[in-house]
Structure 1
C-alpha cells in the first residue's frame, strides 16, 4: 500500500509542504515494507535513493576492527539516505531493520525535477544541512576523543615508569633504613678519634655534595666492581660485591678504600665501610626518587601547557616551540613504539604569535600523529620553524607518502586514508579550520619518500 499525503504531513520536515508537492513526491517514490532482519542497505551499496520512514526503525551500524558498532537509528517519521545536493555516493555501513518498516524510497533520478517544487526542496535542503551539522559535531567529538585516547595511553605509559621507580626506590629506602639501628650500634662501639673521623666524613659528603660523573663503560665498571669486591672481602667484609656496586656508583675504587683503611685501621674498617655504603645507598635512593618526581612534574606541566587549561579561551601571545615540544612529550610513547627519531631545527628569533593555544596544539597533534602513523617501521620526524614576517612550522616524515590521486581530498571532511577504526577523517579538516581561525594557511607536499606539512601563522592578525 502506497503512503498517503496525511502520513507524509506527519513528518516534521514535511509538515508545511503543500499537498500537491507531497502528492508529486509519493507518485514518484516507491513504497516498500521491510521485515525485522532485512537490510535497507549494506556496506558498499550505491546510495542513490532518499528514504522517508513512515513507520518502523532501522539501526545504522559501521564496521570497526572487524565488528559492527551502533551509530544511530532511523526513527519513524524521519528522512534518511541521499538528500538533494548531497555528495554521498556509497554506504560505509549497514542499515538493519529492527522494527517492521514502511518506507517511501525516492530515486536520485528525480532530484532535478524536485527543484521545481520550492517548499519541498527547501525542507529537504534544511534537513541536509542539519544532518551535516550534527554529523560534523559528532565526528569532531569522536576525533577529539580518539586523540585524547592516544595521548592518555602514552601519558599513562610515561607516568608508569617514574611512578614505578619511586615505589621501587621507596621500598629499597625503607629496607635500607631498617639496617640503620644495627649499623649505628656498631659505629657507636668504635673508638675513633677526630683525626680518623674527619677524613672519612669529608670523603663521604664531598662525594654526596659534588657527586662525580660516572662515565665508566659496562666492562670498565664490572672490572672495578670485581677489584673492589675482592679487596673488601680480603679485609673482612661478607658482601663485598653488594658494597662495591654502591661505592663504584659514587666513583670510589680500591685506591679510595686503601686510604680509608689507612686512616681507620683494620679493626673498625668493616664497620666504617658498611656505614659509608649505607649513607651512600640512602643518598642514591633519594636521588632516584627526586629524579622520578621531577619527571612526573615535567609530564604534568607538559599536559598543562598542552591543554593551556589555566588560561581563558582567547588568543594570547605564545611560543610555538613550547606547544610543539609539549606535543612531542605527549606522543613520546608512540614515537618509541614506532621507533621514530625526532630531529628539531627551531629558529632562534621566532617572536611570540597570537594563538588559541590549546586549539593550535590540536593541529600539532594531528600532524605529528599522522606522521608517526606513516612510519610504522621506523623513520625520522623533522620539525622545523622559521620566521619571515610570519612563522612557518614544517612537520616532515619519511613515511610512505600520500597517493597523488587523493592528495587534493585530504582536507575534506570525513576523508581518511586510514583503515576503518583508526581515523574519523576529521583531523586535517579540523586542523585547517583552526589555522583559518588564525588567518594562516597549510600546505602539503608528498611523494614516496615522505610527506611534509607547512603551517603559516601570521604575526599580525585582525
Structure 2
C-alpha cells in the first residue's frame, strides 16, 4: 500500500506538506500492471494523473518512441492541462505500480492543496519545455535525414559523370599521337593552319541552343553524305561529333576550299579530336559546377558559415536551396515546381536555420501529397501593407478534409503511414513561425491546398 515515503521519493513532491500528500493518498487509487500492458491506445481518453511508484513506462511505439519514464515519475493529465485524449500508445515495460488520481479531483486539489498543485503545474511547465526541445531536435534530425538521402542521389550523378568522362578523356588522349602523325604528313601553310584554327575555335565559342532530335538526325545524315562523297573515313562517327557542335555542309565546304581534297580527311580528323576533347572537358566542367551548386546549397541551408543569432534573411535563398536539396525527390515524383519571389522582396529579421526547417517540411509534405502524374507545387512571396511578407505553398494534391485541417498542427498528428511520419513537422513549423511573430494558415479543397505564412518584416 502506498504511503508518504513513496510520495516523498518524487523530487517534485519533496517540498509539499505531508497533509497535502496525504490528501493525494486518500483520493488516489493504487493500481498494478504487468509488463507489456497497454495503458491506452491513440484516441483513448486521458482521465488520470499517474504517479509511477515502481516500474517503467514508454510513450510511443517503435520506431517513433517519444518518452521513457522510470519510477519515480509523474505522467498523465496534470492540473490546468488541456490534454483530453492520447495521440500515442502508452505501454508498461516492466511490472509497474501506480497511484492514479481521476481528473474530477483536480479542481478540489487546486483549491485545497496549493503547494501540491504548484508542484504539479511546474511538472507541466517542464514537460512542455522538454517536449518542445525534443520535438525540435527530432524534427531537425528528420529533416537532415531526408536531405542527406536526396543529397547522396544528387551528388552521385555528377560524381559518376566526372569519373566516366575522366576515363574517356584519358583513353582519348592516348590516340592523340596518331592524329599528330597524320597532321605532320600534311603540307599546310601557316596561313591555312591559322584559317582552320580560327574557324574551329569560332565554332566552339558560338554557344547556341541544342538541336531537336529530328534536326540533329537530319543534320547527321547530310554531313555523312558529304563525308562519303569526299571519301573521308569513319564518316558516321565524325558526322555525330560535327553535328554535336552544329557544323553544317557549308562549314565543310569552306574547309575543303581552304585545305584541298588531299588534306580534308586529315584536317577533319584533327578537328574531330578537338571536338571530342572539348565535349569531355565541358561535361566534366558542368558536373563539377553541379557539385559546387549542391555544396553551396547545403552550406546555405545549414547556415554553417554564419552565427546562430537573428539576422537579415533572404527568403528566396533558403527556399531555392531547399528545392535544390530535395531535387531528387521532386524529380522522382515528377512534380513541377514554380517559384515566384520578386528580386526586391524585403529581407526579414529571423533565424535562417529555423526557417529552412519550415521550407523543408512544407515542400516535402507537398511532394508527398502530389499526384503520381501531373503534380505541381507553386511557391509565391509578396508584401502586404509594407509590413508583412507572405509566402504561399500551393500543391494540387487530393486536399485536406475539414476535420483533419483542425488537427494538422497538433503534436504527433500525422496522416502518413507508420514509420513514415512522426507528426512533429507541422507542429514544429508552427512553433518556428510563432518564434518569428508570424502566423500560418491552411486552406484546402480537392486539387488545391495552400499553406500561407505571414512574417513581419521587422521583428523588433
Larger mean CA deviation between 50-59 and 139-148 belongs to 50-59
Aligned to 2:165: 169
> Aligned ranges for residues 170-189 of structure 1 at < 5 Å?
170-189=166-185
**Deviation, structure 1 residue 184:** 1.4
Aligned to 2:294: 299
Aligned to 2:393: 395
Aligned to 1:264: 259
Query: 1:426 and 1:283 mapped to 2: Cα distance?
Result: 50
**1:42-71 Cα deviation digits (max 9, x unpaired):** 45543322322222223444255xxxx544
**Deviation, structure 1 residue 179:** 0.8
Distance 1:385 1:98, change over 3 A: closer
Secondary structure at the counterpart of residue 444 of structure 2 = strand
Distance 1:288 1:452, change over 3 A: same
Aligned to 1:428: 426
Matched, 1:133 2:132: no
Query: 1:196 and 1:147 mapped to 2: Cα distance?
Result: 61
Query: 2:341 and 2:351 mapped to 1: Cα distance?
Result: 21
**Which ranges of structure 1 fall in alignment gaps of 5 or more residues?**
none
**Deviation, structure 1 residue 95:** 4.0
Aligned to 2:49: 50
**1:157-193 Cα deviation digits (max 9, x unpaired):** 2222222222222111111111112221232233322
Secondary structure at the counterpart of residue 322 of structure 1 = helix
Matched, 1:151 2:147: yes
> Aligned ranges for residues 275-354 of structure 1 at < 5 Å?
275-347=270-342, 349-354=344-349
**1:129-151 Cα deviation digits (max 9, x unpaired):** 22222222111111111122222
Query: 2:15 and 2:456 mapped to 1: Cα distance?
Result: 48
Query: 1:215 and 1:37 mapped to 2: Cα distance?
Result: 66
**Among 87, 90, 101, the residue aligned to 1:106:** 101
Secondary structure at the counterpart of residue 94 of structure 2 = strand
> Aligned ranges for residues 66-77 of structure 1 at < 5 Å?
70-77=65-72
Distance 1:355 1:7, change over 3 A: closer
Residue pair 1:214, 1:249 contacting (<8 A) in 2 also: no
Aligned to 2:438: 440
Residue pair 1:214, 1:250 contacting (<8 A) in 2 also: no
Distance 1:87 1:306, change over 3 A: same
Residue pair 2:255, 2:264 contacting (<8 A) in 1 also: yes
Residue pair 2:34, 2:92 contacting (<8 A) in 1 also: yes
Query: 1:19 and 1:334 mapped to 2: Cα distance?
Result: 60
Larger mean CA deviation between 299-308 and 90-99 belongs to 90-99
> Aligned ranges for residues 110-121 of structure 1 at < 5 Å?
110-115=105-110, 116-121=112-117
Residue pair 2:38, 2:91 contacting (<8 A) in 1 also: yes
Secondary structure at the counterpart of residue 270 of structure 2 = helix
Query: 1:47 and 1:439 mapped to 2: Cα distance?
Result: 32
Matched, 1:142 2:141: no
**1:352-373 Cα deviation digits (max 9, x unpaired):** 3333333233333333333333
Residue pair 2:350, 2:459 contacting (<8 A) in 1 also: no
Secondary structure at the counterpart of residue 305 of structure 1 = helix
Aligned to 1:5: 4
TM-score, with length taken from structure 1:
0.88
Distance 1:102 1:320, change over 3 A: closer
Residue pair 1:445, 1:453 contacting (<8 A) in 2 also: yes
Distance 1:313 1:34, change over 3 A: closer
Aligned to 2:16: 17
Query: 1:37 and 1:386 mapped to 2: Cα distance?
Result: 54
Give the number of aligned pairs: 456
**Which ranges of structure 2 fall in alignment gaps of 5 or more residues?**
none
Aligned to 2:240: 245
Query: 2:89 and 2:412 mapped to 1: Cα distance?
Result: 17
Residue pair 1:63, 1:420 contacting (<8 A) in 2 also: no
Matched, 1:191 2:187: yes
Query: 1:59 and 1:449 mapped to 2: Cα distance?
Result: 39
Aligned to 1:381: 377
Larger mean CA deviation between 179-188 and 50-59 belongs to 50-59
Query: 1:34 and 1:458 mapped to 2: Cα distance?
Result: 52
**1:22-52 Cα deviation digits (max 9, x unpaired):** 2332233332333334444445543322322
Distance 1:348 1:424, change over 3 A: same
Aligned to 1:218: 213
Residue pair 1:47, 1:81 contacting (<8 A) in 2 also: yes
Aligned to 2:202: 206
